[in-house]
């Protein structure tokens, strides 16, 4: 049985996680951390990590500052953590890398298993097209999302660029420059509106054909499922920096 602590338990993802975990027999929520203290059902909620009387795998869906604090706390307490918050800076990510030398850190800006399969397919398509097709990424999210482009869009772009040995330059907005598209451009476009949970498209555009790889999240449950799987993956793991790619490839080796 894996004990799980949820930072950001009172938010929408916190409630989605509680619902998903309540349906499982291999893990349980033992505590939460949020500004609103008290209880959610039988789960005690504390104002800070330092008040926790229990241990477990910490899943963070809070903020960049909260994610960094969670990672540092887990390093001090020798606890694994799953960091799901978006909008982290390069300095924040560097802290996670440092913490991973002491405890297992699972990091993904998008916990959907499906979106990570999309990333793997985009890598392979990049390799197969070998620079002959233009690449564009379009991401769509609800009107309350703060960051643009999304962390997931950047994950996709970074995976593609790594496959291309860093050949691409990211272009986020073309309205200010009237010129044709550059050969090494990788365009990233953002749409914000309504209650869109999350949609991502990768377009490989050739002279006479277009190949599109897309993913649409229907509910936040897909992110909760991925976060729970990640928590189980790092429970009792060795210190290290883990991603969805590690988890997916581990599953493939078991097939």
Cα 63 off chain centre by: 13
Q: What is the DSSP string of 171-209?
A: E---TT--SPPPTTEEEEEEEE-TT--EEEEEEEE-SS-
CA atoms of 156 and 174, how far apart (whole Å):
20
Q: Which of 149, 148, 121 is nearest to 211 (CA)?
A: 121
pLDDT score for 206: 96
Which active-site residues does the annotation give?
A: 141, 145
CA atoms of 45 and 178, how far apart (whole Å):
54
- Over the Cα atoms of the chain, what is R_g? 19
Per residue of the chain (255 residues), what is the pLDDT tens digit? 999 999 999 998 999 999 999 999 999 999 999 998 999 999 999 999 999 999 999 999 999 999 999 999 999 999 999 999 888 899 999 999 999 999 999 998 788 889 989 999 999 999 999 999 999 999 999 999 888 898 889 999 999 999 999 999 999 988 877 889 988 999 999 999 999 989 999 999 999 999 999 999 888 888 999 999 999 999 989 999 999 888 887 654 544
Cα 129 off chain centre by: 27
pLDDT score for 250: 61
pLDDT score for 255: 41
> Environment class of residue 228 by beta-carbon count within 10 Å: exposed (0-12), middle (13-18) or buried (19+)?
buried
CA atoms of 92 and 217, how far apart (whole Å):
27
Residue 143 structure tokens: 């009107």
Pairing verdict, β 27-33 and 43-46: parallel
Q: Interhelix angle for 221-234 vs 12-22, to 10°?
A: 70
Domains of the chain are: 2-111+220-254 (3.40.50.720), 113-217 (3.30.360.10)
pLDDT score for 86: 81
For residue 145, give every residue at least 6 positions away whose Cβ sits within 8 Å of its Cβ, in sequence order, or none. Answer: 192
CA atoms of 233 and 250, how far apart (whole Å):
9
pLDDT score for 179: 85
CA–CA distances in Å: residue 79 to residues 5, 50, 71, 248: 10, 13, 9, 22
CA–CA distances in Å: residue 161 to residues 13, 138, 150, 186: 30, 16, 17, 9
């Amino acid at each position: 049985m894996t004990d799980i602590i949820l930072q950001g338990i009172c938010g929408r993802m916190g409630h989605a996680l509680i619902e998903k975990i309540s349906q499982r027999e291999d893990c349980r929520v033992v505590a939460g951390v949020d500004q609103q203290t008290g209880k959610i059902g039988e789960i005690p909620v504390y104002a800070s990590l330092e008040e926790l009387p229990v241990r477990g795998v910490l899943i963070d869906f809070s903020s960049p500052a909260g994610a960094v604090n969670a990672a540092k706390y887990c390093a001090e307490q020798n606890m694994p953590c799953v960091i799901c918050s978006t909008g982290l800076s390069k300095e924040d990510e560097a802290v996670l890398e440092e913490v991973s030398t002491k405890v297992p850190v699972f990091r993904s800006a998008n916990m959907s298993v499906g979106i990570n399969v999309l990333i793997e397919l985009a890598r392979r398509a990049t390799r197969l097209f070998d620079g002959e097709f233009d690449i564009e990424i379009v991401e769509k999210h609800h009107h309350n999302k703060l960051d643009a482009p999304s962390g997931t869009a950047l994950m996709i772009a970074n995976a593609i660029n790594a496959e291309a040995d860093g050949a691409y330059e990211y272009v986020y907005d073309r309205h200010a420059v009237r010129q044709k598209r550059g050969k090494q451009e990788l365009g990233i476009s953002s749409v914000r509106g309504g209650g869109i949970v999350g949609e991502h498209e990768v377009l490989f555009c050739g002279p006479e054909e277009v190949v599109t790889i897309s993913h649409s999240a229907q509910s936040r449950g897909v992110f909760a499922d991925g976060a729970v799987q990640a928590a189980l993956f790092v429970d009792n793991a060795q210190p290290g920096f883990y991603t969805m790619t590690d988890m997916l490839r581990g599953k493939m080796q078991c097939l």
